[in-house]
Amino acid sequence: DPESNSWSGAAAMTTARNSHTATLLPTGKVLVAAGMPNGGGGSLNTTELYDPVGNTWTGAASLAIGRTMHSATLLPSGKVLIAAGTIGGPVLATELYDPVSNTWGAAGPILTSRTSQTTTLLPSGKVLMTGGYGSGNVVLNSVELYDPGSNTWSSAGDLGTARSNHTATLLPSGKVLVAGGAASPTGVAYASGELYDPAGDTWSPGGSFTTARSVHTATLMTTGMVLIAGGRASNGGAYMTSAQLYDPVNNTWTAASNLAAARGFH
């Protein structure tokens, strides 16, 4: 509760899971989908709905394919697009959840199977997918666009740098800031950012952090600036307390106050 700056317990999910997605629906309920079961191993295809009014969870329709480290995007239609992820290897299949009928339907498959990618809803209604790990744990620079009208994916301009476990933030200008991420499953993180312009399907430099990082978070603030927090400088490395602010007007990064606790994957 931000007014009292306090936390209180909420009802427990029916199934323990991690590396899942949580999507706020137009009804005010939250759809939690798939992920890894308690103890690891395999991927879940189950989903749940949280009702904040009653503080209750109920089962929702199951995905056709279980997956973890996927992405979920709320479309203008109110449907939820679940894309990519892993079931022991990267997934091509995507699915659409209809909250009105509580059903899943097949969506067009992505062009390149991947996991640990990002998806961003653009002002046009299309969805931008960037980077991630492909088959053989190869880090990708490829980019795809999903068109809900035709239910198909198409290639978009490649990232300048292949990256995974990065962030993607839609800016007020309509451009997308892709920041940080890792060079390989065992490699160091990037300090660089890139800007995607949907109008020209082009990428340009998005400045550089003072401290490279992956598995961080990126939050668009009401000022139009982006707050990057936590993460780690290399895969398997220590988590960080540092945070930084991106100014889209000047395309620059500055230090922000440190977190009280080091964290990543938050």
Token pair 């740098």 is found at 161
Contact 240, 256 (CB under 8 A): no
pLDDT of residue 234: 87
Cα distances (angstroms) measured from residue 202 to each of 112, 146, 182: 20, 17, 22
pLDDT of residue 207: 96
Q: What averages of pLDDT result for each successive group of 10 residues across the chain (266 residues)?
A: 97 96 98 92 94 98 96 98 93 96 97 96 98 93 98 98 96 98 85 97 96 96 98 90 97 97 96
User: 192 pairs with which residues across the strands?
Assistant: 208
pLDDT of residue 198: 98
pLDDT of residue 62: 98
Q: How far apart are CA 82 and CA 59, in angstroms?
A: 17
pLDDT of residue 41: 78
Question: Going by C-beta distance under 8 Å and a sequence separation of 6 or more, which residues neighbour residue 2?
Answer: none
Q: How far apart are CA 140 and CA 166, in angstroms?
A: 12
pLDDT of residue 18: 94
- In a 13 Å sphere around the CA of 222, the CA atoms on its Cβ side amount to 0
Structure tokens at 244: 């930084």
Widest distance between CA atoms in the chain: 48
Q: pTM for the full model?
A: 0.96
